Structure 1
Amino acid sequence: MLTFKESCIGVMKLSKPPVNSLNLEYLTEFNIAIEKLENDKSCRGVIITSALPKIFSAGLDILEMYQPNTDRLRQFWTQVQQLWINLYGSQVATVAAINGHAPAGGCLVSLSCDYRIMAPNYTIGLNETQLGIVAPFWFSDTITNTIGFRKAERALQLGYMFTTDEAKACGLIDKIVPPDQIMAVAHEEMKKMFAVPDFARQITKNQCRKQFIDKLHAKRDADTDNFVNFITKDSIQKAMGKYLESLKKRKSG
């Protein structure tokens, strides 16, 4: 994780080759970095982008879920939950500068930010069903709050990956930006949010999002149990095994 400050703006660049997959250790590092910036009184906003070409984040590391150690799996899911709580409920302004593909967890990170800009010719979406798994209720809540019930329901069922143009048309992202301008535009959008008094923006954001964050807090243990019980089912493990085999064949081909 490359993290630095530019005046009152923190910049987080995901840097975990080859595809910024989120395993337990990287999720823990991600959460610590967010919390440090959140606690920095001079930081008013955070931009999240990728240091790798053509990929924002491939999402959760499937190897954490395939033939897992149950204790580690629980720790892993706790960190996934915490990442969403930290980002979706952040008191600072947040911009996702999506400069590559953003499936699954990469899409969730983007959706959890206040504003999303994206380079053209990439894809974004919660494609969990294509892997034989199911997005939890708080993933569903987040995309539904962004694009509306019917479009979200359809996209979740199909595990649909939106092109940049499709994502802009349905409101999944806010602006399409050439790759070489994406950070400059992210700073411009951040300044627009800074034009509003921080306390007013923070209270308004909290009013809009608190009920959904409280919902996860109330069901956090049950959500973890459901995740562990589902992922460790033989049928799910077989489906993930087939998916991993298909990736190996694709790479070797």
Structure 2
Amino acid sequence: MTTVKVESHENVTVLRLDNGVTNAIGPLMVDALCAAIDAIDDRTGAVVLAGNPKFFSMGLDLPHLLTLNRARMSDFFFRFNDVACTLLTLPLPTVCAMAGHAVAGGNILALTCDYRLGVAGKKIGLNEIQLGVPVPYLAGLMLGQLAGDRVVKKMLYEGCIMATDEARQVGLIDAVYPLESVEAQAIAKATEMAALSPAAFAAMKAVRVGMLQQQYKSNGWQKNEQFLDCWFSKQAQALLNEASRKFR
């Protein structure tokens, strides 16, 4: 059973995370995302990334990942960041329909999209520091492009989790809609953007995200290894194991 469902709405492809209530991100979901992205063809004019009404994604699948040794965790973590970079640089308009909460790794996937639409009462955030690990390098780059330094410090240094209304005010979410209409609004936005010149849009998107891609390619290996050093530290393992109970 796949953890990413692919749905077609005219020329808009919806990639729906489908891994239980939490939509936890593990190796199978990364594989499924890679396969879904690879299957996108020239009939697709835009992409919508969606989850479920409770969680867009709760983040990395801690109960599973904590069973992995460093080599296997390294393989997963590098592939997760690579698929995030692929989504970020996809030469198509991308819209994230966050009907549910988007936390940590879930928020990272949301940050890869060109537009993020949320629902009132839901929360987003990067709480990695509270778990003894840094926010992944690519995510920090994406966050820094979207928000001012005050917001970036609050999220990176304090692990701030914020409501969607606040996230919209600081530029992390583009709009907030009722739960029953957020996905329709995301598809409508994607359809609107797909009507633009594909070549012109791809060129402009490359301008916006190209520097982030270059920085990740230049520094990503070292930064990912720093993350893994922290992940396998005694302090982080204790905090991560405690947090993993929330997934059960």
TM-score by length of 2: 0.92
CA contact (8 A) 1:24 1:75 kept: no
Task: Say yes or no: does 1:156 pair with 2:156.
Answer: yes
Paired residue secondary structure (1:42): coil
CA contact (8 A) 1:94 1:190 kept: yes
Residue 103 of structure 1: CA displacement? 0.5
Paired residue secondary structure (1:59): coil
Aligned to 1:225: 225
Counterparts of 1:48 and 1:139, CA distance in 2: 17
Residue 65 of structure 1: CA displacement? 4.1
Residue 67 of structure 1: CA displacement? 4.8
Aligned to 2:50: 49
Map of 1:117-128 to 2, 5 A cutoff?
117-128=117-128
CA contact (8 A) 1:11 1:47 kept: yes
Paired residue secondary structure (1:12): strand
Consecutive unaligned residues of structure 2, counting only runs of 5 or more, are none
Change in 2 beyond 3 A, CA 1:199/1:243: same
Counterparts of 2:8 and 2:243, CA distance in 1: 39
Aligned to 1:131: 131
How many residues are paired up? 245
Aligned to 1:234: 234
Task: Say yes or no: does 1:12 pair with 2:15.
Answer: yes
Map of 1:200-215 to 2, 5 A cutoff?
200-215=200-215
Paired residue secondary structure (1:186): helix
CA contact (8 A) 2:12 2:191 kept: no
Give aligned-pair identity as a percent: 25
Measured on the aligned residues, the alpha-carbon RMSD in Å equals 1.7
Counterparts of 1:187 and 1:243, CA distance in 2: 34
Paired residue secondary structure (1:225): helix
**1:166-198: CA deviation from partner (whole Å, max 9, x where unpaired):** 011111100111111112211221133124211
Paired residue secondary structure (1:2): strand
Aligned to 2:39: 36
CA contact (8 A) 2:137 2:220 kept: no
Aligned to 1:183: 183
Counterparts of 1:192 and 1:205, CA distance in 2: 16
Task: Say yes or no: does 1:23 pair with 2:15.
Answer: no
Counterparts of 2:175 and 2:216, CA distance in 1: 29
CA contact (8 A) 1:125 1:161 kept: yes
Counterparts of 1:16 and 1:64, CA distance in 2: 13
